[in-house]
């Protein structure tokens, strides 16, 4: 690391900043990376901003126009299998609340990587994930740790077989590819620790 003068009062802010950058790395090693929030906004994805009652978000949910249209048109018509589970809309609200609040999620019960779950032949490169409630399934991917982009949803009872998930996997991959100029990367890997961290 370069030696910095001890009497920095005589240096302008610009000179001090330049010297600090040179001490840490050469300017060509420093690259600008747009935040995931900015990239999602540029891709015309809508951020879910439901109340966390004064707590800051730990994780983030973005929805595509298709998902929002599905939630508005289809979600109200889903009849829960058990009354105590709440309506489908209440389940969605609770799922997004817990996800954004950073609650611990159980692999297989709350969330899973679809490639592993449905036995895709491809290696774990697709990075398609499913958030689960008692009666609904939400499909999307993680462009970065703790950022979930949801593009489609379905009623659980309409997915009795593994092969029923194939169209959702294909649609997520297709849609994600259409956004590659905004969100060029997605997380590859089937472990929960690859895609999320917990608040505590």
Distance CA 61, CA 36 (A): 11
Task: Please tell me the pTM assigned to this model.
Answer: 0.80
Copy the structure tokens of residue 164.
């029923």
SS3 106: coil
- Residues 153-166 have a mean pLDDT of 93
pLDDT in tens, 105-153: 999 999 999 876 666 545 457 899 999 999 999 999 999 999 999 999 9
Share of the chain above pLDDT 70, in %: 78
Look at 12-26, 37-51, 61-75, 87-101 and tell me which has the smallest mean pLDDT.
12-26
Examine the pLDDT at 175 and tell me if it is beyond 60: yes
Q: What is the pLDDT of residue 115?
A: 75
Q: Which has the closest alpha carbon to 103: 50, 58, 48?
A: 58
């Amino acid at each position: 690391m370069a030696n910095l003068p001890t009497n920095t009062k005589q240096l302008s802010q610009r000179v001090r900043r330049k010297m600090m950058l040179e001490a840490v790395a050469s300017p060509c090693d420093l690259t600008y990376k747009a935040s995931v929030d900015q990239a999602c906004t540029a891709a015309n994805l809508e951020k879910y901003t439901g109340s966390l009652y004064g707590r800051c978000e730990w994780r983030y949910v973005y929805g595509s126009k298709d998902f929002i249209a599905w939630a508005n048109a289809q979600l109200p018509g889903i009849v829960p299998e058990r009354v105590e589970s709440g309506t489908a809309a209440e389940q969605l609200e609770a799922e997004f609340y817990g996800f954004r609040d950073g609650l611990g999620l159980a692999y297989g019960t709350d969330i899973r990587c679809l490639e592993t779950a449905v036995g895709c032949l491809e290696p774990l490169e697709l990075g398609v994930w499913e958030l689960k409630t008692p009666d609904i399934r939400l499909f999307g991917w993680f462009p970065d740790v703790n950022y979930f982009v949801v593009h489609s949803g379905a009623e659980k009872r309409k997915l009795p077989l593994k092969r029923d998930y194939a169209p959702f996997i294909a649609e997520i991959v297709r849609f994600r590819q259409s956004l590659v100029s905004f969100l060029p990367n997605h997380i590859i890997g089937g472990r929960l620790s690859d895609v999320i961290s917990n608040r505590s």
